[in-house]
Structure 1
Amino acid sequence: MGKVYLVGAGPGDPELITVKGLKYIQQADVILYDRLINEELLAYAKKEAELIFCGKLPGYHTMQQETINHFLIHHAKKGKTVVRLKGGDPFVFGRGGEEAEALVKHGIEFEIVPGITSGIAAAAYAGIPVTHRDFSSSVAFITGHKRDGSHEEIKWESLAKGIDTLAIYMGISNLPYIRDQLMKYGKSPTTPVAVIQWGTLLEQRTVTATLGTVVEVVNEHQIKNPSMIIIGEVVTLREKIQWFEQLLLQQQPLANEAF
Structure 2
Amino acid sequence: MNGIVYLTGAGPGDYRLLTLRGREVLERADVVIYDYLADPRLLEFAPPTAEKIYVGKKAADHTLSQDKIIDLLIAKAKEGKIVVRLKGGDPFVFGRGGEESRALHDAGLPFEIIPGVTSAIGAPAYAGIPVTDRTAASSFAVVTGHEDPTKGQSSIHWDKLATAVDTLVFLMGVHNLPSITQQLVAHGRPATTPAALVRWGTKADQETLVATVGDIAEKAAACHFKAPAVFIVGDVVALRPSMQWFDTKPLFGLTIAVTRTHAQAPDLTHRLEELGARCLEVPTIRITPPTDGYQALDTAIADLEHYDWVIFTSTNGVDAFFRRLQHHGRDSRALGRAKLAAIGSATAKALTAYGLQADVVPGAYCAEDLAAALEPHLSGKERILIPRAKEARSVLPDTLRRWGAVVDVCQAYCTVEASENGAVLKDLLARQAIDVVTVTSSSAVRSFLSLSQAQASDLDDITFACIGPITARTCQEAGLKKIVTAQTYTIAGLAECITDWRIKQS
How large is the Cα RMSD of the aligned pairs? Answer: 1.6
Q: What is aligned with 1:234? A: 236
3-state DSSP class of the match of 1:247?
Answer: coil
Q: What is aligned with 1:145? A: 146
Larger relative contact order (CA 8 Å, sep ≥ 6): 1
Structure 1: which 5+ runs fail to align?
none
Q: CA deviation at 1:148?
A: 2.1
- Between the aligned partners of 1:232 and 1:83, the Cα distance in structure 2 is 36
2:211 to 197, 209, 212: 209
Per-residue CA deviation, residues 201-230 of structure 1 (Å, 9 max, x unaligned), is: 010010100111101211222210000000
3-state DSSP class of the match of 1:157?
Answer: helix
Matched, 1:7 2:20: no
Matched, 1:105 2:93: no
Structure 1 stretch 92-101 or stretch 144-153: which is displaced more?
144-153
Q: TM-score, normalised by structure 2?
A: 0.50
AA aligned to 2:84 is V
Q: CA deviation at 1:145?
A: 1.2
Change (3 A) 1:219 1:50: same
Matched, 1:222 2:259: no
- Between the aligned partners of 1:235 and 1:250, the Cα distance in structure 2 is 21
Change (3 A) 1:251 1:201: closer
Q: What is aligned with 2:370? A: none
AA aligned to 2:106 is K
- Between the aligned partners of 1:137 and 1:248, the Cα distance in structure 2 is 33
Q: CA deviation at 1:157?
A: 1.4
CA contact (8 A) 1:167 1:229 kept: yes
1:161-200 → structure 2 map (5 Å cutoff): 161-200=163-202
AA aligned to 2:200 is W
Q: How many residue pairs were aligned?
A: 259
CA contact (8 A) 1:202 1:248 kept: no
Q: CA deviation at 1:249?
A: 4.5
Matched, 1:30 2:31: yes
Kindly name which structure, 1 or 2, has the bigger radius of gyration based on alpha carbons.
2
Q: CA deviation at 1:175?
A: 0.5
CA contact (8 A) 1:195 1:228 kept: yes
Structure 1 residue runs of 4+, over 6 Å off? Answer: none
- Between the aligned partners of 2:138 and 2:113, the Cα distance in structure 1 is 28
Q: CA deviation at 1:60?
A: 2.4
Per-residue CA deviation, residues 123-146 of structure 1 (Å, 9 max, x unaligned), is: 000000100111111111111112
3-state DSSP class of the match of 2:124?
Answer: helix
Matched, 1:43 2:44: yes
- Between the aligned partners of 1:7 and 1:29, the Cα distance in structure 2 is 14
Change (3 A) 1:59 1:238: same
CA contact (8 A) 2:205 2:253 kept: no
Structure 2: which 5+ runs fail to align?
257-271, 278-435, 439-463, 465-506
- Between the aligned partners of 1:32 and 1:196, the Cα distance in structure 2 is 26
- Between the aligned partners of 2:202 and 2:94, the Cα distance in structure 1 is 18
